[in-house]
Chain A
């Protein structure tokens, strides 16, 4: 059974720092991995989608990597801003075509 874990559960950093969020999954048989952002009490916004054949995707200050063999993905945020404060979730599309989600990392960027 596929399980997705995100560590740490919460992270607080000063504005301007570069930071890395981690996502690990137990079964490497995935079709893709996505990173989402969720603001308090709100829906989710897709940030980056990495297909299983890809190693990374970039969008602006965000860069996501995927290492399928080790079951890991990272989301790198450069030059963090207070507006980046949110919960970041990763989800993998498993071999049954189901999205399996992590519980998220709550990120706080201090001005």
Chain B
């Protein structure tokens, strides 16, 4: 069974740039959720995709956007990067709709540093 994989693992950007983070969901899972985790904090929900459609969004501005592809992999795009966007970005897949109806399987995360 293939787990959740994220890329890149680490990246450094400067203010104002754009970034794309990628996530491959676990085999058989059709739901992908994205989270932002600042150092020493719990994750904050960004949004979720279920069968290629956005299915819920947290309190993040529109410059955070996403996609889900027919194979259920997903991208998180962040435009006009700000220093506070520096964080660990986590992707989680699950076999059903909703964030916590069942067990969530997380990737290792993408560590973004904005200078």
Contact = CB atoms under 8 A, between A and B. Distances in A.
Interface of A: 4, 31-32, 34, 41-46, 49, 89, 91, 93, 97-99, 101-104
B104 A4 contact: no
A43 B100 contact: no
Contacts of A103: 40-42
Contacts of A97: 56, 98-100
Contact of B108 (A32, A42, A46, A99): A42
Contacts, number: 60
Interface of B: 4, 6, 40-45, 56, 58, 88, 90, 92, 98-109, 111
The binding surface of chain B is classed by DSSP as loop
A98 B45 contact: yes
Contacts of B44: 101
Nearest to B111: A41
A99 B109 contact: no
B100 A41 contact: no
A95 B40 CA distance: 26
A44 B106 contact: yes
Given A42-B109, A43-B108, A104 B100 contact: no
Nearest to A104: B42
Max chain A Cβ within 10 angstroms of own Cβ: one of B40, B42, B108: B42
